Amino acid sequence: MIEDEDIAILLNDLFDIYGYDFTRYSKASLKRRIIRLCALDKIPSYAELRYRVRTDETYFKRFVEEITVNVTEMFRDPSFYKSLREDILPVLGTKPFIRIWHAGCSTGEEVYSMAILLKEANLLRKSLLYATDLNPSVLEKVRKGIFPLNQMKQYSESYIASGGIHDFSMYYTAHYGQAKFDKELAEKIIISTHNLVSDSSFNEFDLILCRNVLIYFDKELQDRVLKLFDESLGTLGYLALGTKETLKFSAVQSKFRQLNREKIWKKII
Amino acid sequence: MEENHLKNSCRALLIGGSAGSLQVLFNLFPAIKPDFTFAVIIVLHRRNSGDSALSELLSTKTLAHTLEAEDKDPILPGKFYLAPADYHLLIEKNGTFSLDYSEKVNFSRPSIDVTFESAAEIYGPSLVGMLLSGANEDGTKGLLTIKKMGGKTVVQNPETAQMPFMPQHAISHHAADYIYNIIEMADFINNLR
Ligand SMILES: C[S@@+](CC[C@H](N)C(=O)[O-])C[C@H]1O[C@@H](n2cnc3c(N)ncnc32)[C@H](O)[C@@H]1O
């Protein structure tokens, strides 16, 4: 049994030794993930866990990977992608150059979905997709652009529901149970680690997507990160959040207007 | 019904259900007096996304405020909260909800076990867990955790369930303090303090 105080001590260690600050993450989720990790790795006690995280940097990396949630999908919430296709890309298309930031992109399914949308709108040539996450290991998967083949049926259905009109399988080649996505899509993806808690704005974007990341933060951290996005958006830029996340009640709320039923806001000042 | 009073006063009632449990809720909701003094948190397995209409549908069956739980919302007494589709629903120590998009548990997101275990940790003996009809193993572990932390558990009588597997599974694993039909469940809830 791991007590709340133990977790607090562990989080302090992470900050002191490695500079990662998880103190404003959802406690309920962290605790669940830590208990799950101890069961997975057969770690008998909290003391043992603390020792390993403190002394073994490789294990520390695994620890961070496992306490953060990396689950993701291509074309998750098709109506969201449909709105990107119909409402956002036509506006972005009038610009000479399009910069998009996927913050907390995990293994990149969302980034490749976006690259497909851009390609179909004939905008990929003049776009750059910045894919960032806290975990270097998930970014390695973005780089490869290889996803499990057994997911493709569902992704293909979501793609069609998002307004896609092609045969989804034209975007990848199947190989030993894996789907390797077209090189052309990856060419416009720029990959970098970025910690939303401690790193600052690094460019000005026309569209920022940060979906299903804020739910793991407490209100105050959510607010701070939303400010970071505000600073990183050009005038009339767009911010897209997960279906259960909102700008409402945040400090930057008054600078944005929600577009439609999807969680997409336009920066108005 | 003296026996169903918790040692500590009830702060939350959790209801978990899968296939065949929507009908139970439609019958149960009007039978629950709307002046209850705890939060009712409902975790239902349902089709992916989109059907936020469900909380509106349920709200037509009761005078109590019925809403979908939102991330970081405070959990207030006297309300029915419904777990949103495709997220796990967690309870924070400070009395708020958190949503979580991690792996499915028992092939389900939201998973009943996940919310029950999270709530048991926070509410301890001030919690009641209720498990309804379903064709899945979800809920049993959660009920056992609630019991372990001193809370009480109620399971729908499998004979009255459209899908008896889920309640039967809980009963076989000794997760049920009480086994009730719908009328008995309503009675139990109306006597909770
Ligand atoms: C549930 S995934 C979301 C993936 C994708 N955006 C989606 O909605 O499907 C959450 C991601 O946020 C990342 N993350 C968590 N804390 C972070 C932080 N402080 N900075 C950057 N990324 C973070 C995790 O590593 C994980 O990959």
Domain count within chain A: 2
Q: What is the dihedral of CA B28, B34, B36, B42, to 10 degrees?
A: 40
pLDDT in tens, B97-145: 999 999 999 999 999 999 999 999 999 999 999 999 999 999 999 999 9
To test the ligand 1 pocket, which listed residue (A62, A68, A76) has its Cβ within 8 A of the most ligand atoms?
A68
3-class state of residue B173 by DSSP: coil
In this structure, are A16 and A119 located in the same domain?
A: no
- B114 to A32: CB separation less than 8 angstroms, yes or no: yes
For residue A119, what are the domain limits? 78-267
Q: What DSSP element (H or E) covers B17? A: strand B12-17
HEC readout, A139-193: HHHHHHCEEEHHHHHHHHHHHHHCCCCCCHHHHEEEECCEEEECHHHHCCEEEEE
Neighbouring C-beta atoms of residue A163, cutoff 10 Å? 17
B45 is catalytic: yes
Confidence check: pLDDT of B6 > 70: no
Closest-CA distance of chain A to residue B87, Å: 9
Residues A71-119 pLDDT 10s:
999 999 999 999 999 999 999 999 999 999 999 999 999 999 999 999 9
- Asked if B89 and B114 count as a contact pair (C-beta separation under 8 A), the reply is yes
In this predicted structure, the answer to whether residue B1 has a pLDDT above a threshold of 50 is no
Domain membership of residue A73 (yes or no) is: no
Whether residues A117 and A14 fall in one domain: no
User: Is there a single domain that holds both residue A131 and residue A190?
Assistant: yes
Phi and psi of B168, rounded to 5°?
Answer: -65, -40
Q: Does position B5 have pLDDT exceeding 70, yes or no? A: no
| Dihedral (Cα; A75, A80, A86, A89), 10-degree rounding | -70
| Nearest residue to A143 via CA among A191, A74, A71, A179 | A191
pLDDT number for residue B2: 46
What is the pLDDT of chain B when averaged over all its residues? 94
Residue B50 pLDDT > 60, yes or no? no
Higher-scoring residue by pLDDT: B4, A208: A208
* Strand duo B39-44 + A256-258: pairing: unpaired
Neighbouring C-alpha atoms within 13 Å toward the C-beta of A93 = 15
| Residue A53 domain-assigned (yes or no) | yes
A62 & A91 share domain = no
Rounded to whole angstroms, the Cα distance separating B6 from B152 reads 7
Is the preceding peptide bond at B110 cis, omega within 30 degrees of 0? yes
CA distance B155 to B143: 9
Domain end call among A33, A67, A101: A67
The model's confidence at residue B34, banded by pLDDT at 50, 70 and 90, is: very high
Is A90 part of a structural domain of the chain? yes
Same domain, residue pair A46 and A126 = no
Q: Kindly state whether residue A115 falls inside one of the protein's structural domains.
A: yes
> What are A34-73's pLDDT values in tens digits?
999 999 999 999 999 999 999 999 999 999 999 999 999 9
- Residue whose CA is closest, atom 8 of ligand 1? A211
Classify burial at A90, counting beta carbons within 10 Å of its beta carbon; exposed 0-12, middle 13-18, buried 19 or more: exposed
The yes-or-no verdict on residue B51 having pLDDT over 80 is no
Does A138 lie in the same domain as A13? no
Domains of chain B: 2-190 (3.40.50.180)
Last residue of a domain, one of A40, A67, A94: A67
* Integer Rg of chain A from CA: 19
Q: Is A72 among the domain residues?
A: no
Q: Please compute the mean of the pLDDT values over residues B8-22 and round it to a whole number.
A: 94
For A197-254, the pLDDT digits (tens) are 999 999 999 999 999 999 999 999 999 999 999 999 999 999 999 999 999 989 999 9
| A47 and A169 inside one domain | no
Ligand 1 pocket, Cβ-based, cut-off 6 angstroms: A 68-73, 76, 104-106, 110, 133-135, 138, 195-197, 211-213, 216, 242; B 101
Q: What is the mean pLDDT of residues B76-81?
A: 97
Taking residues B146-174, report their average pLDDT.
98
Distance from CA of B116 to the nearest CA of A (A): 12
Model ipTM?
Answer: 0.93
CA distance A149 to B1: 56
Inform me whether the pLDDT recorded for B47 exceeds 80. no
Task: Output the six-digit token pair for B162.
Answer: 């459209």
Instruction: State yes or no: pLDDT of B49 exceeds 80.
Output: no
The domain boundary residue, chosen from A43, A67, A91: A67
Could you tell me if A35 and A161 lie in one domain?
no
Q: Which two tokens stand for residue B109?
A: 């997101």
Q: State residue A180's pLDDT score.
A: 97
Which strands form B12-17's sheet, in the order they lie side by side? Answer: B65-68, B79-82, B39-44, B12-17, B127-131, B152-156, B178-180
Residues 6 or more apart from B159 whose CB is under 8 A from it?
A: none
pLDDT at B4: 56
Task: Tell me whether residue A139 is in a domain.
Answer: yes
- Nearest Cα to B137, choosing from B102, B113, B109, B103? B113
Reply yes or no on whether B126 is catalytic.
no
Check whether residue A63 and residue A82 sit in a common domain.
Answer: no
Give contacts of B98 with chain A, Cβ < 8 Å. 26, 28-29, 215-216
- Alpha carbon A43 to its chain centroid, in Å, reads 29
For residue A213, being part of any structural domain is answered with yes
Name which of A50, A207, A177, A35 is nearest A117 in CA terms: A207
**Amino acid type, A24:** R
Closest by Cβ to A215, choosing from B100, B103, B117 = B100
CATH number of residue A237's parent domain: 3.40.50.150
Residue A41 lies in a domain: yes
Residues A186 and A56 in one domain: no
Residues A196 and A240 in one domain: yes
- Sign, CA dihedral A86-A91-A95-A98, equals negative
CB A89 within 8 A of CB A122: no
CB contact under 8 A, A244 and B84: yes
**CA–CA dist A53, A63 (Å, integer):** 7
Minimal CA separation from A244 to chain B, in Å: 7
What is the tens place of the pLDDT at every residue in A145-202? 999 999 999 999 999 999 999 999 999 999 999 999 999 999 999 999 999 999 999 9
> How far lies A150's CA from each of A108, A141, B42, in Å?
17, 17, 32
> What does the block give as tokens for A226?
């939303």
Q: Are A242 and A263 in contact (CB under 8 A)?
A: yes
Q: Are residues A52 and A82 in the same domain?
A: no
| Residue B173 falls in the annotated catalytic set | no
Query: What digits encode the pLDDT tens for the residues B63-74?
Result: 999 999 999 999
